[in-house]
Structure 1
Amino acid sequence: MRTIARHASLTAACLLALTSLTACANDAANTASAGSGGQGDGKGTKVKIMVGGLDKVIYLPAMLTQRLGYFDAEGLDVELLSEPAGVQAETALVSGQVQGAVGFYDHTLDLQVKGKSVESVVQFSHAPGEVEVVSTKKAGTVTSPKDFKGTKLGVTGLGSSTDFLTKYLAVKNGVSTNEFTSVAVGAGPTFVSALQQGSIDAGMTTDPTVATVLSKKAGKVIVDMRTPEGSQEALGGPYPSSSLYMQTDWVNQHKDTVQKLADAFVKTLKWMSTHSASEIADKMPADYAQGDGALYAASIKNTLPMFTDDGVMPQDGPETVERVLKAFNPTIKNATVDLDKTYTTEFVKKAAENSAG
């Protein structure tokens, strides 16, 4: 009887899982269909975009574009979804749950060597916006990536861009990837808690988490990549990070919709370049400040230098990313990457023309 009951339970579970998967697939297909009004879609074109952390300052253009009303102005009905790490946004994209992802450009290279064709269509940044912070307890012994050996290093998620960059900094400074432990701790309160409790010795994160760590005196900055200069020093060149990337086939089949997205995002980047951090903070959801508006505005100010004002891929940026990934990633190290297929400037250049006209 117990065996029969167990089989019945398993069968029911399988049917439930299958139903759920079918529902997800149908939902994605329906969304794509709604967003495929083709050339000349009208108002309300539906697009789902997964963001690797909506409240992270590095991905701020996503929510800001919505708050400024630029999606609506383009006749788009954009639903912004959030995952704690960029690698999860990537997964949502390639599985067809969403039509776009806001995350790091480096995922396009990683996916290409895995047989997936994905491209950045709007490049938000020319620096990572990432910061390596060491816990106050370990600040005396871990002063640079040269000291990573034997440490527990926090990243948002395994396989995430913070994981990629952490490994590169280690290898560049003579520490192999098997001489330290990467620990997935997310961002925000979970990162801060891990640092305070000793679950990690150091870790890579972004604002506003960086600002919170410093305000609580929980850690100290040892590598700052929030500016082009910081990127140059740590990585040897511009490092295009935050971007809107999409599956190439979907881009080619929905060019009108992609153009509208590019027009909206480029307007936002231009707006950001002419407004103060406080003015930007005022446009964001109140809860993003976590009760400290001044600290939130300061975190935006510290990160603003990473953003482009036109959405264009920075010169030599893709080459820097490829070099960084090849330094530690065995999958990419011996693979040939066609960088021209990892991004397009077609839509942002047209967006510039549209705004000028």
Structure 2
Amino acid sequence: MTVHRKKWLAAVAALALSVTGCASTASQNSGTSSSGGNGTPVTIMVGGLNKQIYLPFMLAQRLGYYQQQGLNVTLQDEGAGVDATTNMVAGKIDGVGGFYDHTIAMQGLGQSLESVVSMLTTPGEVELCRNEVKDQIHSPADWTGRNLGVTDLGSSTDFLTQYLAQKNGVNPATIHRVGVQSGSTLIGALQHGNVDCAMTTEPTVSTALSQGAAYILLDMRTAQATAQQLGGEYPATSLYMTTSYVDSHPDVVQKLVNAYVETLKWIQAHNGAQVADQMPADYYAGPGKDAYAKAFDNEKGIYNPTGLMPPSGPPTDLAVLQAFNPDVKGKNIDLSKTYTDKFVQAAK
């Protein structure tokens, strides 16, 4: 385990012990967006609001679905899901828009979190490598000693990177993982040679390719490609919350899930151009509106049409984490406690 990872785990543990209630306090964040209105206040931190893998959170706001449910939802932008999880465990926010696998990892640390709606059935992640290493890196089997970009240490991209290394015969201890977030930060890290490869999503992928800054090493934007890399369906984006919050605020959780189920249905019925028309202009400022729309159309299959957790998905997430993650490996993980479908089933 890296020193950074140990520090993060210590911070999570300390924050968990400091939680004394369920009230959330919205932090001053330049990436904060509120749905407004006089409804019940809820604060959700998202691991990259402008990423297409987290599209449902902002789209629900733009479509007015939060207000229709009587909610005043504040969305806070955070570069990595791991940091959002830390804030939630500390009681600073009510929920996290992030990858489902964090609920499994946190159970291994003795924390009870659960996904209440599943939004992505595949990760939508792409491994980009800088053009200068094209003749040297042909697969993760060539990663030994390389600098590999992840959103942040302890993030889902960190989990996936370590798994792909091990699966391809590379000891994760021999790779150097570097937190580069996404967008211009990640692209700059590739262009300046700070990392050899990096895992990211749209619209960063389209921007990097259009700038000639990278090539695609592997792609997990389809179910088939995800199964090839990870061994099966891999539920990714979800809204997850502490079990204590879910149990004490079932009415609020139900209203949130109602809004997201409607958003997922809307996504299935519309194309990239229509989606782009709904989003803030700065969400597609890098690749451009047309490229943003095309990227959505190309990966539309990543979105869960129902919000229900794919039955075969959680075991795949668990198998990935158990392969390398010391917080999960050898632990008795109860997957039934990491998600619930009851709110989706009751959604209208």
TM-score by length of 2: 0.89
Amino acid at match of 2:263: T
Moved over 4 A (4+): 24-28
Deviations 1:211-243 (A, max 9, x none): 111101111111100111111111010000100
Structural mapping, 1:89-168, within 5 Å: 89-168=84-163
Give the Å deviation of 1:139. Answer: 1.1
Q: Which residue of structure 1 aligns with residue 266 of structure 2?
A: 271
Question: Which of 49, 55, 61 matches 1:60?
Answer: 55
Indicate yes or no: 2:327 matched with 1:331.
yes
Question: 1:118/1:179 Cα in 2 relative to 1: closer, same or farther (>3 Å)?
Answer: same
Indicate yes or no: 2:37 matched with 1:29.
no
Structural mapping, 1:186-225, within 5 Å: 186-225=181-220
Question: 1:217/1:348 Cα in 2 relative to 1: closer, same or farther (>3 Å)?
Answer: same
Give the Å deviation of 1:31. Answer: 5.8
Question: 1:336/1:281 Cα in 2 relative to 1: closer, same or farther (>3 Å)?
Answer: same
Structure with bigger helix share is 1
**Using the alignment, how far apart are the partners of 1:328 and 1:30 within structure 2?**
34
Amino acid at match of 2:316: T
Give the Å deviation of 1:303. Answer: 2.7
Q: Which residue of structure 2 aligns with residue 300 of structure 1?
A: 296
The root-mean-square deviation of aligned C-alpha atoms, in Å, is: 1.8
Amino acid at match of 1:275: H
Q: Which residue of structure 2 aligns with residue 309 of structure 1?
A: 305
Give the Å deviation of 1:343. Answer: 0.1
Amino acid at match of 1:309: P
- SS at 2:307 equivalent: coil
Deviations 1:259-288 (A, max 9, x none): 000000000000000100110111000111
Q: Which residue of structure 1 aligns with residue 167 of structure 2?
A: 172
Amino acid at match of 1:336: N
Q: Which residue of structure 2 aligns with residue 83 of structure 1?
A: 78
**Using the alignment, how far apart are the partners of 1:287 and 1:117 within structure 2?**
36
**Using the alignment, how far apart are the partners of 2:309 and 2:80 within structure 1?**
22
- SS at 2:328 equivalent: helix
Over alpha carbons, which structure has the higher Rg? 1
Give the Å deviation of 1:305. Answer: 1.3
Q: Which residue of structure 1 aligns with residue 7 of structure 2?
A: none
Q: Which runs of 5+ in 2 are unaligned?
A: 1-14, 27-36
Amino acid at match of 1:311: G
Q: Which residue of structure 2 aligns with residue 49 of structure 1?
A: 44
Question: 1:28/1:256 Cα in 2 relative to 1: closer, same or farther (>3 Å)?
Answer: closer
Q: Which runs of 5+ in 1 are unaligned?
A: 1-20, 33-41
Q: Which residue of structure 2 aligns with residue 288 of structure 1?
A: 283
Amino acid at match of 2:138: T
Deviations 1:22-51 (A, max 9, x none): xx989972669xxxxxxxxx9610000000
- Percent sequence identity is 50
Question: 8 Å contact 2:85–2:96 — kept in the other structure?
Answer: yes
